């Protein structure tokens, strides 16, 4: 019998103004923290964090961050940790800063903490990082023996962040159930290093259900910069449930296709969740999901504002060279697509990618939804 594995962070804290409690939680973990946050995020949180740290006699030491979790960015943080003898590293920001912090904390053998400044991806809770090039192309997954000691998310920050961040997080989280379901049906193992547990699958499904119920009103809340129960639910779905669900429930085709898409320059500048959504729809086509499910997914993701056509990620069915390269990259040995419950090759992914545009355009026309707009990478 294969073993089943469930991983999770030690502590998850969510709520309006939760950031004011950061010092209280950090002091249980370390005494000499270093914070990684880019200038924009730091401008938003500096006062709250400084007050909170002062209350616990914690020093405030912060460094900036670039755009992607590159191998170089990770190594620079390791040097910083060692030269300052820090005992805990805290990422305040998006998925890239969080991934760089996790990887550096592991290499320097200290504790690490995720403080997402938006509910834009499910990176914060997991014991792995995704490493990219300076251009944002996927390089590798790195796995760690521990999850973050703390994940703290302030829903007022989520409400104040640009709407596109929450949209991206919803795209990332919708994939979680689809990929967990495929992994459950097959024989594949998860990022946690075993078969999925019933618990992880149930959490992935709960994430999906909360999103279908709450995503649209949560986006309304962010447009009004206000925290509502719907926004709390979507924040938890995107961050905690999707995080546990993807790591211990299994990734499959959607994220492998996302990773392939990062190699196409036309997609640069799109958020993780936007590209993942193309992966989700392609996976539904690839696995021959029920027509009703595919059509409802297209309608829902259109209403959320996620791309579900190649046009919206800067590609078209005429980009045969790029689509072929995406299909090849998505099916390399070791990619999560091989957790699908049937053998998948590049031809099958290529065919599914070609099918997406026509299906989405038809469904959008039939259901009175807007036509897709062409994305142009800058």
The catalytic site residues sit at 172, 255, 258, 272
Closest Cα to residue 44, out of 123, 151, 124, 154? 154
Looking at beta carbons only, is 172 or 312 nearer to Zn ion?
172
- For position 172 contacting Zn ion by CB under 5 A, the verdict is yes
Angle in degrees, CA 225, 226, 228, rounded to 5: 145
At 314, give phi and psi (nearest 5°): 85, 10
x/- string (CB under 5 A) for Zn ion, residues 309-348? ----------------------------------------
Phi, psi of 197 (to 5 degrees): -85, 160
Nearer to Zn ion among residue 172 and residue 287 (C-beta) = 172
Q: How far is the CB of 156 from Zn ion (least distance, A)?
A: 24
In the complex, what is the shortest distance from the CB of residue 116 to Zn ion, in angstroms, rounded to a whole number?
Answer: 13
Q: How far is the CB of 254 from Zn ion (least distance, A)?
A: 8
Region 222-261 residues binding Zn ion, contact defined as CB under 5 A: none
Q: Which is nearer to Zn ion, 48 or 267 (CB)?
A: 267
Q: Which residue is nearest to Zn ion (CB)?
A: 172
Q: How far apart are CA 225 and CA 243, in angstroms?
A: 24
CB nearer to Zn ion: give 156 or 239: 239
151: nearest Cα among 110, 104, 116: 116
Choose between 99 and 172: whose C-beta lies nearer to Zn ion: 172
94-123 residues near Zn ion, rule: CB under 5 A: none
133: tokens are 């090039």
Count of residues that bind Zn ion according to CB under 5 A: 1
Q: What is residue 239's DSSP assignment? A: I
Question: From CA 345, how far away is CA 364, in angstroms rounded?
Answer: 29
Contact 3, 195 (CB under 8 A): yes
Tell the smallest beta-carbon distance from residue 165 to Zn ion (Å): 14
Kindly indicate which of the ranges 20-28, 73-81, 171-179, 344-352 contains the residues binding Zn ion, using the contact rule CB under 5 A. 171-179
Residue from 223, 242, 216 nearest 305 by CA: 216
**C-alpha dihedral sign at 134, 114, 16, 219:** positive
Shortest approach of Zn ion to residue 216 CB, angstroms? 21
Residues in the site for Zn ion, rule: CB under 5 A? 172
């Amino acid at each position: 019998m294969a073993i089943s594995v469930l991983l999770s962070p030690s502590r998850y804290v969510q709520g309006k103004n939760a950031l004011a409690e950061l010092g209280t939680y950090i002091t249980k973990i370390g005494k000499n923290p270093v914070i990684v946050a880019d200038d924009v995020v730091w401008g938003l949180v500096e006062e709250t964090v400084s007050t909170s740290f002062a209350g616990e006699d914690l020093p405030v030491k912060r460094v900036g961050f670039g755009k992607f979790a590159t191998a170089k960015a990770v190594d620079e943080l390791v040097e910083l940790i060692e030269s300052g003898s820090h005992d805990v590293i805290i990422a305040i920001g998006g998925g890239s800063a969080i991934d760089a912090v996790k990887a550096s904390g592991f290499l320097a053998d200290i504790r690490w903490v995720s403080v997402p400044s938006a509910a834009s991806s499910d990176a914060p809770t997991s014991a792995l990082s995704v490493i990219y090039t300076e251009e944002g192309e996927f390089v590798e997954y790195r796995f760690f023996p521990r999850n973050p000691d703390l994940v703290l998310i302030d829903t007022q920050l989520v409400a104040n962040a640009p709407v596109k961040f929450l949209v991206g997080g919803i795209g990332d989280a919708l994939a979680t159930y689809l990929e967990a379901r495929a992994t459950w049906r097959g024989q594949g193992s998860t990022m946690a290093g075993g078969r999925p547990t019933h618990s992880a699958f149930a959490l992935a499904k709960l994430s999906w259900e909360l999103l279908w119920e709450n995503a649209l009103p949560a986006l309304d809340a962010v447009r009004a910069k206000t925290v509502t129960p719907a926004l709390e639910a979507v924040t938890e779905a995107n961050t905690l449930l999707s995080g546990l669900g993807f790591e211990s429930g299994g990734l499959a085709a959607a994220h492998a296709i996302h990773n392939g898409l990062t190699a196409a320059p036309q997609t640069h500048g799109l958020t993780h969740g936007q590209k993942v959504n193309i992966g989700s729809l392609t996976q539904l086509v690839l696995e021959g999901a029920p027509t009703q499910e595919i059509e409802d997914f297209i309608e829902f993701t259109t209403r959320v504002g996620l791309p579900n056509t190649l046009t919206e990620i800067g590609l078209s069915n005429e980009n045969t060279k790029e689509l072929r390269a995406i299909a090849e990259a998505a099916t390399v040995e070791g990619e999560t697509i091989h957790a699908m419950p049937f053998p998948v090759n590049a031809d099958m992914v290529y065919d599914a990618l070609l099918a997406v545009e026509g299906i989405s355009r038809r469904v959008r026309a039939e259901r009175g939804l807007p036509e897709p707009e062409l994305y142009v990478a800058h």
